[in-house]
Structure formats: C-alpha cells, structure tokens
Amino acid sequence: MVSTREALNGVRADLFDEHGELPDDVESVPTRQGYGDALVELGTRDERVVVLTGDLADSTKVGAFRDQFPGRFFDLGVAEQNMMGVAAGLALAGKIPFVSSYATFSPGRNWDQFRVSVAYTRANVKVAGAHSGLSVGPDGATHQAMEDIAMVRALPNVVVVVPCDAEETRKATLAVTDLDGPAYLRFARNATPLITSPDSPFTIGRATVVRNGDDVAIVACGPLLVEAMRAAEILARDGIDARVVNNHTIKPLDEATLIAAAEQTGAVVTVEEHQVNGGLGGAVAELLAQHHPVPMDIVGMPDHFGESGTPEELLARWGLTAEDIARRAAILLRRKA
Amino acid sequence: MSVVEVDLALTANTIRQHIISMLVEAGSGHSAGPLGMADVFTVLYFSVLHVDPDDPWMPDRDRVVLSNGHICPVWYATLAERGFFPVSELATLRKLGSRLQGHPHARSLPGIEASAGPLGQGLSQAIGMALSASLDGARWRTHALLSDGEHDEGQTWEAVMFAAKCRLHNLTAWVDRNNIQIDGFTEDVMPLEPLAAKYESFGWHVVEIDGHNHRAIADAARLAEAVFERPTVVICHTIPGKGVDFMEDDYTWHGIPPDRAQAAKALTELRSLRGRIDGEYA
C-alpha cells in the first residue's frame, strides 16, 4: 500500500512509485553543482564575491566562476590553513570570500584558522565543505568527512547548513551570502535526487516539514533526506505515520519546529551522514533534552571510521539506508510513553 | 640625533614604560617581545603609517596585522599613545570586560584589524587584505608583524609562498628576530637560519635591519614601498626585553610579567634612559 499524501513545502508529492522507489523522471545532480551555479549568479551581481580553492577547483564546481571571473578567483594550492586566513583578510577588507575545498580538509585541516581568524572575528567568510560523509566511497576513511558538522557547530558565530539537493544548495549559497558573518555549507560528492524545485521555500534557520505524520518524527539533513522520506513510505505500509523534517540548518536550530515535532509525535529519529557524536543528532538531543524530552534515536555513523566501498555499500554497511531508519523508528515507537 | 629622532626615542621610551605598568597591573602576560618591538611599533605609528586616530576605520588607512598576538601590550600602548583610545585604559589589560584582551580581538579596539593568538595566522590575513587592496586598485599598504618563533608553523610558509605567487608589493612583513621562544633560543628549539636566504629563495624582497635603529626602520618601510612585483620582509634584529637590563636577552622573560619590585626597577631604568635621551638633545 502506498500512502497518498500531499506535496509539502515544495517537495514532489509523487517522489516515490508504488514500490517505494524513485521514479525514472527524478533527476539526480550532485549538491555541489548548486554551489557552483549560485557562485556564478553571485559573481555577476556582486563584485565583492571572491572564490578561493585549494587545488580543487573543478571538483568543488567553482570552475565556472573561475572562467567568468578570473580576477576574483584564487587557487592557493594544497594549503588550507593559509586559505582560511587569506579569506579572513579578504573579508575584513570588504570582500565576500567563498572557501571551497573538501570537508575533510576544510574545516578538517584548518579548524583553528576557522575559529580564530574567522569565527572569533565574525569575518564574513563562507566555507564550503564538499565530498562530505560516505559519498567519497572508495577513497576510504581518510577522505570521508564524518566529523565536520560537530567541528563547526561548536564554534560561536557560525551558521551551519547541510542542504539536501543541488537546488537547495543553490538557495543556501545565496542565502548565506545575505548574512553578514561566517557560514559553513556541507555538500556530498554523489549525484543526489533533485527533490526540491526553485519554488520550494528555503529560509536559513527554518526547518521544513516535508511529510506530515504524528506517530514519529524523522529529522534529517543532506542527501539522506531522501532515505528518510523512503523510510516514511516503508513505515506507512505498517500503518505508521512518520513526519519527515528537512532540517537543513544545523545552526541556528529551528527550535519551534523541532519542539512541535517532539510534542506532537512523541518520538524523534535523527538521520545524518556524520558521526552520531555532535552532529544533527547531537544538536537535536541538546534541544529536546532541555525543552521537551522524548525517546530519541540517532541514526548516523556509530562512532567509527569508515572504509572503502561504494557509497551504497557503505550506507548499507553502516546502517544508514531507508530500511535501517524505518526499523529503528519502529523500535523507538515501543519506548513512547 | 635630530629633533624628530629624539621625539621618536622618547615616545618609544614612554611606550616601554606603559608596557611595564600594564603587565604588572595585569599580573600576567609577556614581557620580552613587547619591549623588543617597541621601536618598530613607534616608528610605524609615528612616522610611517597612514592612519588617523580620529577616524580609525577610514577606508584608505594602512592595515596592521599583529600575528604573534601575545606581544599585544606594545600594540595597545602604541595605539593609546598615538591617540586611538585613552592611555588610562591601558590599565585594564587582561581584566574582565576590558577592550584590551589578552590576545587581540579584531575590531574590539580602534586600530585592531585582526584577531591573533595561536601562532602563524597573521600573515595569511594580511595577504587577504593586501589582495583586496590590489583588486580594488587601492593605494593603502598592509603591514604584518610576525615573531621569529612562529616560523615553526607550517601556515607561515604556506602564506610566504602565496604572497610571492600574488606578487604582493603592497605587503610588508616585519619579523621580530629576537632569537627566543618559550622553551629557549630559536636555534636550539627549531633552527630557522638562514632565515633571510629562505625568504629570498621564496621570492621575497628581503631587508635586514637593527630593529632598534629608528632611521633604519623608517628607511626599510620606504624601501619596501619602492619595490614592485614582490612582497618585502624586514627582518628586525631585536633584543628581547630591550630597555630593561635584567630582561634583555633572557628567554625566561618571554611569557611572564614583572612583579611589583621588578617593575619598579624596570621603570627606574627606563626613566634614567629617558634622561639620557633628553640630555643628548640638550
């Protein structure tokens, strides 16, 4: 049985077919492509926008910006610490720099520069961490950034956004540019189903409910949002109505939407391609423990390093598929008061 | 000495006295570095930089980034003496609620352009500022002040390479070559020599001076302005603790303040030095 449901907050209503799979007409695009597109848009309309990369122009999708605005593009070589500091200096002199690298290097390699040169100063620097999570698959654990959300979330003054698809990434990139202060954007490597459209609402700090339900809330961020939605389809077959929340902004957290979800469903499962320590799950747990404690489960990397394999194999190996989410949500329901 | 030179010498002496008073009042902080760099700061702020204490953030001001943030007492004392904020505020160094943080916090005080503390971060920030000026075709210069010890940090060399790549002729780095760091002499802890040759091989224009010779400091600043297509580093050979006999060249004074008795002795020395400077002019 397939649940009939309305399109909510701009996410396609016909996202899954009768087998709970994505139909063929759902296009897949890497989230970082939305970043590259937005930068070209920004470069055209704002001369203050400059782009920095550490020898990763094409894989962070900033090549188009480089080609159109070569004077405002800087390749700093494999030197992420200096890159973050240079960005701070550019920002302090009035530019809006975008620091583009892989999350495992930036903020992985330059967290101290992010902290002191950028966050403490409130320098208007936007940091883009690409190739996060398990999506770099075969490269193995060294390149799988599974700690970056925790790292940046700990820093005062920093806005943290994990968009779910390329379109949301484009909007997030534009939105953080309108903020005067540091921000971190997190992307994946793989092509991700395009589930939002240019008309879908997007506001920093405002989570969107993409599926209604009152039995359990599944709060997800990034490309795993699709898995969370598929998990809701699986649960629906067992008569469980799951609410799915697209929690793209990890900081500042949308407290009202999350507390309402806890109040109205009584059980919350978080889903992220990140360690279970200190990421989305940690943020939601901190909020709910203080304001509305309910049984919770945190689906993510269980305090372990990754390994080589295809992204699909790794998601299955570490329990991050829709089936895993649905199973854990069903178990969590038994703990509801 | 000319009148101007005597004025600069007296100003540097006043700044050194401020540093001693601030440190003893704070009860913690670094003594050797601030005293050693008092002459460079004095000449920059009283003879070289295009800055206006009444309009501290004017768009075309020269930028100053202090990378080894722990010597900020000399920066604070110089800014106060130059009129950026009241001298009386120097006594609040490191106190709760003060604008004079233990290590500099960008924009917390007029004239403080960047945050610094963990070593090795300043040159990169200065490069970003200089790049921005280049993009805008602006004429202001950026001055980065670095310690010798922070050349242990990899980031410093990442920045040195990048500045050369960008041919940042609007950037001057001033290196406090005082040969000490916390654990001892730099050449024992982590040898840096040949430092000048290293910079040269990285594509920089290198000037070496006596960091207590005011005329040499001013000349180096102007020389840097005359160079095109290359950033300039001025390696300033200084005596840590300069002006206070029992602190000079003793690395144990790197990270501690004087107690009240030591401060009184230091101030007596500095005042008698002041008398000798005055006497030379008379």
Residue pair B272/B243 in contact (Cβ under 8 Å)? The answer is no
Residue A121 burial (10 A CB sphere; 0-12, 13-18, 19+):
buried
| Candidate from A30-34, A180-184, B99-103 with smallest mean pLDDT | A30-34
Q: What pLDDT does residue A137 have?
A: 92
Average pLDDT over residues B219-239: 97
Residue B165 burial (10 A CB sphere; 0-12, 13-18, 19+):
middle
When pLDDT is cut at 50, 70 and 90, the band that residue B278 belongs to is: confident
Instruction: Round the average pLDDT of chain A to a whole number and report it.
Output: 95
Task: Give B158's contacts in chain A (Cβ within 8 Å).
Answer: 76-77, 79, 81-82
Q: What pLDDT does residue B282 have?
A: 63
Q: Closest approach of chain B CAs to the CA of A20, in angstroms?
A: 50
Q: Helix H segments across chain A? A: 31-45, 63-68, 80-92, 111-113, 148-153, 166-178, 224-237, 255-265, 280-291, 311-317, 322-333
Residue A93 has pLDDT above 80, yes or no: yes
Give the whole-angstrom CA distance, residue A254 versus residue A248: 10
Is A116 touching B (CB cutoff 8 A)?
yes
CB < 8 Å from A in window 132-171 of B: 132-133, 135, 154-155, 158-159, 161-162, 166
Instruction: Kindly state the percentage of chain B with pLDDT values over 90.
Output: 95
Task: Give A124's contacts in chain B (Cβ within 8 Å).
Answer: none
Is B56 touching A (CB cutoff 8 A)?
no
When pLDDT is cut at 50, 70 and 90, the band that residue A6 belongs to is: low
- B128–A88 C-beta distance less than 8 A: yes
Q: Closest approach of chain B CAs to the CA of A292, in angstroms?
A: 35
Q: What pLDDT does residue A181 have?
A: 98
Question: Any idea what the Cα angle at residue A75 is, between residues A73 and A77, rounded to 5°?
Answer: 170
Residue A84 has pLDDT above 80, yes or no: yes
Residue A273 a catalytic site member? no
Residue A5 has pLDDT above 80, yes or no: no
ipTM computed for the complex:
0.97
Question: Chain A residue with minimal CA distance to B144?
Answer: A89
Give the whole-angstrom CA distance, residue A62 versus residue A127: 13
8-state DSSP, A132: B
| pLDDT tens sequence across B144-199 | 999 999 999 999 999 999 999 999 999 999 999 999 999 999 999 999 999 999 99
pTM, full prediction: 0.96
Residue pair B183/B142 in contact (Cβ under 8 Å)? The answer is no
Is B184 touching A (CB cutoff 8 A)?
no
Average pLDDT over residues B12-33: 97
Average pLDDT over residues B101-119: 97
Residue B129 has pLDDT above 90, yes or no: yes
Measure CB to CB from residue B125 to each of A76, A79, A85 and give the nearest one: A85
Average pLDDT over residues A258-283: 98
Instruction: Kindly state the percentage of chain A with pLDDT values over 70.
Output: 98
| Candidate from A7-21, A179-193, B200-214, B252-266 with smallest mean pLDDT | A7-21
- A93–B132 C-beta distance less than 8 A: yes
Give the whole-angstrom CA distance, residue A25 versus residue A12: 11
- A89–B128 C-beta distance less than 8 A: yes
Q: Please tell me which residue in A80, A227, A233, A272 is annotated as part of the active site.
A: A80
Q: What pLDDT does residue B1 have?
A: 76
Q: What pLDDT does residue B148 have?
A: 98
Average pLDDT over residues B227-241: 97
Average pLDDT over residues A110-121: 98
Q: Distances from the Cα of B112 to the Cαs of A141, A321, B16, in angstroms? A: 41, 50, 19
Residue A36 has pLDDT above 60, yes or no: yes
- Report the residue of B124, B156, B170 to disrupt the A interface, i.e. the one with the largest count of A CBs within 10 Å: B124
Average pLDDT over residues A183-191: 93
